Structure 1
Amino acid sequence: MNASARLAALVLALASAPVLADPAVLLSPALGRPGSVTLQGRVLAETPHGSTALSRNLRSLAARNWKGAKVEVSFEGVTATVTSAEDGNFQVTLQPPEGGSFAPGRSSAQARVPGATASASVEILADSAPFLVVSDFDDTLAISEVTKPGKLAANALLRDEDTQKAVPGMPGFYGCLGAEAKAAPGFALVSGSPVQFIPRVGAFLERHRFPVGFGLFLRDFGPGTLSTYKQPLIRSLLQRFPHPVVLVGDSGEKDPEVYAQIREEFPGRVRAIYIRDAGHSANAARFPDMVLFKDASTAALHAAQVGLARRECVTAAFPQAAPRVEETP
């Protein structure tokens, strides 16, 4: 039996194991506007336990979904109750009381089911925010080695938020985005990582000091989500948020093609596209009018040159690039 077959057998065995007593709620960190915020997540019939990263990851992926759970979701004094779907997912859009608005900035939302609660950060993005960053995760922010199946499996299953490595320089690059520190952009992470990894991805971003306030939009694994899953999510974001957009991804899979499609569909909205070189980059035609970079300092330098990042921040975060930043008029 090869490694893939053993892994599949192990996941199946875990899915067939006796149900643990305590349910769990996964609530995604969210982005909202002063007039509304959409909250989403998943209810699991049992809390994924495990003494190792492997056991926790496998149990997270194999955990049963809770269909029909009554989920009470609340944010800033506004509460709604929704019912989880067959896949355990729930989603609700909350609006402030009539005549009011949600204050821009970071706050938190809560979700409750009988036996479990969860909270997640919510970033209310002001209409005056300079732009929205739509980012990939695997091989863009975290080293996942998607182009190498064996190493991808090891990074996905044997590592967690404490042991998976960040792409060098990316926290600094993201922290410098925005022409003014007091007018920061919003961040939306649209990733193929499974929705069961919401806690892991959120903890990873915090551990590596990426900017606070990321909205997470992870993939719901299934036959219909093996491809073209990013475009609907990004379209929805651009329809909900009127801001200019900066797209950041990597060359390992289809980010360049997806982002080129989005740029064509939303003319004038995309300020820049940054693609980290993670392989499959020999064909320059994949990257029309995109910044292909191996080192995050290259992306940061370009962003400073075109007014998407603060020069003094880039100088401090990437001292080796400082002379080039200063030389640019």
Structure 2
Amino acid sequence: MSQWKQILMRVASNADDRFDKLKYRLRQRLGNLGPVMILPYRGFGNANEIYLKGRVLKDKGIVAAGDNDTVWQNLLSTYKRFASVEIPGVRVEATFAGVTQEVITDVEGYFEVRFRPQEPLPPTRAWHTIELRLLDEIYEGQGDIRASGTILTPNAGSQFGIISDVDDTILQTNATSLMKAAKLTFLNNSRTRLAFEGVAAFYRALQSGPDSSLFNPLFFVSSSSWNLYDLLVDFCIVQGIPKGPFLLRDLGIDREQFIKSTHHNHKFDKIKLILNTCEGLPFILIGDSGQHDPEIYLQVIQEFPGRILAVYIRDVSQDIRDSSVQKIILQAKQLGVEMLLVPDTVVAAKHAASKGYIDPEILPDIRAEKVEDQQAPSDLEQIIGTDSEQKTE
């Protein structure tokens, strides 16, 4: 990076931080900060250390999505998510297993807590709870503001882990098309956005393992903004996709680049963090061919030899991209890892069953769930256009 570009990045980052602080002080002076909420994101860890990220925000009253929400209701909810009001420089108290620590939110309202358990975690328990409490008074009469966060740890019943992409892997987004991706983000909600057929049953099968009695931890890594966290969690609940931590991206301006991390670097770094945290546990990686998942997963295979059992890449791209993916598949094979470019969930599930990753008796359930969800487009969607170019199952 040139010296001038570095200078511009620092200036932009400093200006962004100052603008955030100015907005906060103005709202504070006008008495427009309440109500406030603590939003914990699902965390993860191991027997030695656990980690949780969260944010303190003005509570804008985003209500749970409904089946009959209008386009305008969805637009309003999306606007509220992205026009978040962060609460910087306030103290949050975190308590886990009788141990308490204080952390302070950064300029964008984020905080992170890390605990080293003094006692062994229950060997058969996957999810653990962290209690959070806001220590500072932000507006008059705010009362006691608390929240409970959850932490996922592999346990004695974990045979392998699963790391999944989100966009165009479990959720139809058309991420390679800016207009289509924007349409799906802004005009739909967690109940009207479409999952790829069979995904929920396949992920449940992977989580429970070959004899349907295990608990294999599932992680979601995406370049989507943290502002969409609640929508993605609700989407998985509605679709019956198993619970897991989401590792999303902060889209703010960094001192080194306009976006704090690139798509490639963000996903690779988060996957690396998961593998280092779940030390010794092998993983299955699931993504799509639309962006850079094959390239990222090949880099993971190279850096973590022997840790990747298989890679499933959903084919959502055009033929010219498929030829590039096939070259990456050959490189992965030379490293001893099967990377499959699959047209649908059933093909991936059949391979997983043949390798002993899932119970073969679950295959009929996955096939049965693979029913295309035909939904009439809304009036605004018809104006923008429908999705006809993307490969589907």
Same fold (TM over 0.5): yes
Q: C-alpha distance in 2, partners of 1:311/1:75?
A: 40
Q: What's the CA shift for 1:105? A: 2.3
Alignment of 1:101 with 2:121, yes or no, is: yes
Match of 1:153 in 2: 182
Deviations 1:30-62 (A, max 9, x none): 223233321111222x12345822112112112
Match of 2:386 in 1: none
Q: What's the CA shift for 1:102? A: 4.4
Q: C-alpha distance in 2, partners of 1:34/1:127?
A: 11
Match of 2:383 in 1: none
Structure 1 vs Structure 2 CA RMSD: 2.4
1:225 is matched by which residue type in structure 2? S
SS in 2 for 1:225: coil
Of 66, 72, 83 in structure 1, the residue corresponding to residue 87 of structure 2 is 66
1:75 is matched by which residue type in structure 2? F
Of 189, 201, 210 in structure 1, the residue corresponding to residue 220 of structure 2 is 189
Instruction: Give the TM-score normalised by structure 2.
Output: 0.72
Worse-matched range after superposition: 154-163 or 278-287: 278-287
Alignment of 1:293 with 2:342, yes or no, is: yes
Q: C-alpha distance in 2, partners of 1:109/1:154?
A: 36
* Structure exhibiting the larger radius of gyration computed from Cα positions: 2
Q: Quick check: 1:35–1:102 contact (8 Å CA) kept in 2?
A: no
Q: C-alpha distance in 2, partners of 1:43/1:82?
A: 12
Alignment of 1:259 with 2:297, yes or no, is: yes
Q: Quick check: 1:134–1:246 contact (8 Å CA) kept in 2?
A: yes
Match of 1:30 in 2: 43
Of 284, 295, 298 in structure 2, the residue corresponding to residue 246 of structure 1 is 284
Deviations 1:107-141 (A, max 9, x none): 43333325543334332311551111111111111
Q: What's the CA shift for 1:296? A: 0.5
Q: C-alpha distance in 1, partners of 2:84/2:97?
A: 31
Q: C-alpha distance in 1, partners of 2:33/2:347?
A: 49
Listed as ranges, the matches of 1:265-304 within 5 Å are 265-280=303-318, 281-283=321-323, 284-288=326-330, 289-304=338-353
Q: What's the CA shift for 1:309? A: 1.1
Q: C-alpha distance in 2, partners of 1:30/1:320?
A: 30
Worse-matched range after superposition: 242-251 or 124-133: 124-133
SS in 1 for 2:221: strand
Match of 2:376 in 1: none
Q: Quick check: 1:263–1:269 contact (8 Å CA) kept in 2?
A: yes
2:121 is matched by which residue type in structure 1? S
Match of 2:109 in 1: 88
Alignment of 1:136 with 2:165, yes or no, is: yes
Deviations 1:120-177 (A, max 9, x none): 4332311551111111111111111112211100111222212211111110110111
1:143 is matched by which residue type in structure 2? Q
More strand by share: 1
Q: What's the CA shift for 1:273? A: 0.5
Alignment of 1:47 with 2:20, yes or no, is: no
Q: What's the CA shift for 1:295? A: 1.2
Q: C-alpha distance in 2, partners of 1:23/1:91?
A: 18
Q: What's the CA shift for 1:320? A: 10
Q: Quick check: 1:31–1:188 contact (8 Å CA) kept in 2?
A: no
Q: C-alpha distance in 2, partners of 1:282/1:101?
A: 45
Instruction: Give the TM-score normalised by structure 1.
Output: 0.85
Q: C-alpha distance in 1, partners of 2:296/2:167?
A: 15
Q: C-alpha distance in 2, partners of 1:117/1:197?
A: 21
Q: C-alpha distance in 1, partners of 2:360/2:277?
A: 30
SS in 1 for 2:260: helix
Q: Quick check: 1:25–1:42 contact (8 Å CA) kept in 2?
A: yes
Count of aligned residue pairs for this structure pair: 305
Q: What's the CA shift for 1:185? A: 0.9
Alignment of 1:311 with 2:360, yes or no, is: yes
Of 233, 249, 252 in structure 2, the residue corresponding to residue 219 of structure 1 is 249
Q: C-alpha distance in 1, partners of 2:341/2:238?
A: 26
* 155 and 119 in structure 1: CA distance in 2 versus 1, 3 angstrom threshold: farther
